[in-house]
Chains A and B, each alone.
Chain A
Amino acid sequence: MTEKKIRVLVAKPGLDGHDRGAKVVARALRDAGMEVIYSGLRQTPEMIAEAALQEDVDVVGLSILSGAHMALTPRLLELLKNNGQTHVKIFIGGIIPDEDLHRLKEMGVTAVYGPGASTEDIIRDVRMAVAG
C-alpha cells in the first residue's frame, strides 16, 4: 500500500479575477507534498462541490476577494453536505472582514487567512485538520 496523500481542491468562486493568491497557495501545498487539484477562476459553488465529489478531496481551499464569501460559503457547505462530504475541511483565503470571521467558523469553516498569512501556517493547519 502506498502512503495516503492529502488531496486539496483549490478553487476561486465568484467573479473577481485575482488568482495570484490561489496559485501561490497551490504551489506551496504542492511543495509540501500534497496533491492539489487546481480548478481555476469563476467557479460556482455547484462546480466546486462537484469537483470535490469527483476528486475525493480532503480539503477545499477557497480564494475569495470579491466580498461574496457570506453568500458563497454557506451554499458550498450545503452542497457538500447533500453530497455526503461533511468530512471535507474548508479553508478560505482572501479579504474577509473581522466581523465575518466568527460567523464563517460557526458555519463550519476550518480556517480563514488574510493578506500576509504565511504558507507554513497554512500547510501546518491543513495537515492538522486532515489528521483530525
Chain B
Amino acid sequence: MTYSQAVLKGDRLALSRLLTQVENDTSEGRAALIELFPHTGKAHLIGVTGAPGTGKSSLVNQLALHYRKTADKRVAIVAVDPSSPFTGGAVLGDRVRMRDLSGDTGVFIRSMATRGSLGGLARSTANMVQAFDAAGFDVIIIETVGAGQSEVDIARLAHTTLVVEAPGLGDDIQAIKAGILEIADILVVNKADRPGVDNTEKALKSMLELAHPTERIFQHHGSSMRTVAPKQDSSSALLWIPPIQRTVSIEGKGIVELAEAIARHAAHLTQSGDWAVRERARIEVELDALIVAELTNRFRRDLPHKQYENMLEKIIHRELSPGEAVKLLMESGLK
C-alpha cells in the first residue's frame, strides 16, 4: 500500500512518515502529495502568530481542546520553531504547552523546524498542511515561530490568522507599523490578567480605527495580489473588521469567545467570496514558487558547472556585474 492510500485510510504512522518525506522533499513525498491533492481543500486553516512569549502554544492547546470538546472536530497542529542558523539544529518545545491534548487520537501534533526559512514558517509547512488536509482533519492550526514584524507568510497560508499580543510589549507606534498586525483577522490579547491590558487593547483599537476598513491586497513579487473579493457596492458591510479578543489561555478564559470569532470569520469568508479568493492567491503563490524552483534546478542542471564557476570568478574580480552575468548565462543557457 502506498503512503497516500494508507493516509486516506487513517493510518497515523503512515501519516507521520509521510510528513517526514514531505518535510525532506523526497520523491516519495512529492508523489504522495500529487495523489493526495484531490482530497485537499476541506479543512479550515487557522494561523497563530505573534511575538515570542505571548502564549501562542498555550492558546493553541486551549483552542484545540475546545474544538475537541464542543464540536468533535479532528484537529491537526503544525508547530514551527526556529532552526539554529549556525548548526542547523533545533529545539522544538511547543509540545510542552500542549500536554492536555495527549491521549486523544482526534488530535495530531507535529513540530517542525524552519530549516533556514525566514518568513515565520518552514518551506514545507504548506505541503505538510496539505497532507493533514487530505488525511481528513477538520481544523488545522499552524503556529508560527515567535514572530516579530515581518514574518507574514502565515497570512498567505491560513484562512484565518490570529495575531497574539500580550500586555507590555509595545506602544501605539508599534501598533501602526506595517507588518504583522496588519495580517490579523482576529487580534488576541493574551495574558489579559496582567497589568497594562487596557493600554494594549486601546493601542490596538486605535490602530484599527486608523487603518480599517480596507481591502487586503498582497504584494507578491512586487506586484499586487488580491486576497479579498472585489466588492460590488461601496458599502463596507462586507469588509471584515478584526475583532479584539482578550484571553487568559492558561486558565482557558476567553477561548469560547475566540472560537466564536473564528467561526464568524469563516462564515464571513464564505459569504463575501473571500474564501475562494484566498484559496486562489495561496495556490498562485505555491505554483509560482514551484515553477521558480524547477526552472532554477533545470537551468543549473543544463548549465556546465565550469561556465558557472568562470562567471562567478569574473564577478568576484569585478570584471562583470551580477546583473550582466545573469544576462550572459541566460543567453548561453537557453540555447
Chain A interface (Cβ < 8 Å from any Cβ of B)? 1-5, 7, 26-27, 29-40, 43, 46-47, 50-51, 53-56, 83-85
Contacts and interface: CB of A to CB of B under 8 A. Distances in A.
A44 B110 CA distance: 19
Interface in B95-117: 95-96, 99, 102-103, 108-111, 113, 115
B230 interface: no
Give me the 3 closest cross-chain CB pairs, A-B, nearest first: A30-B89, A40-B96, A56-B16
B24 to A, nearest CB: 5
B84 interface: yes
B27 A37 contact: no
A71 B20 CA distance: 31
Nearest to A41: B96
Nearest to B89: A30
B20 A31 contact: no
Given A39-B96, A54-B109, A31 B102 contact: no
B146 to A, nearest CB: 15
Nearest to A46: B103
B25 interface: yes
B267 interface: no
B88 A1 contact: no
Given A2-B115, A27-B91, A37-B111, 4 more contacts: A1-B25, A39-B99, A51-B102, A56-B16
Q: Give the dominant DSSP class at B's interface.
A: mixed
Given A1-B24, A40-B95, A46-B103, A30 B90 contact: yes
A53 B16 contact: yes
Interface in B223-249: none
B100 to A, nearest CB: 11
A30 B24 contact: no
B45 interface: no
Contacts of A53: 12-13, 16
A37 B89 contact: no
A55 B102 CA distance: 13
Interface string B192-228: 0000000000000000000000000000000000000
A8 B90 CA distance: 10
A72 to B, nearest CB: 16
B195 to A, nearest CB: 28
Nearest to B12: A53
Given A2-B115, A33-B88, A55 B110 contact: yes
Nearest to B13: A84
Nearest to B20: A56
A48 to B, nearest CB: 9
Nearest to B116: A2
Given A54-B16, A54-B108, A83-B13, A26 B91 contact: yes
10 contacts: A5-B88, A34-B89, A35-B113, A37-B95, A38-B93, A40-B93, A51-B102, A53-B12, A54-B110, A55-B111
Given A40-B99, A50-B103, A55-B111, A33 B17 contact: no
Contacts of B99: 39-40, 43, 47
B70 interface: no
Nearest to B112: A35
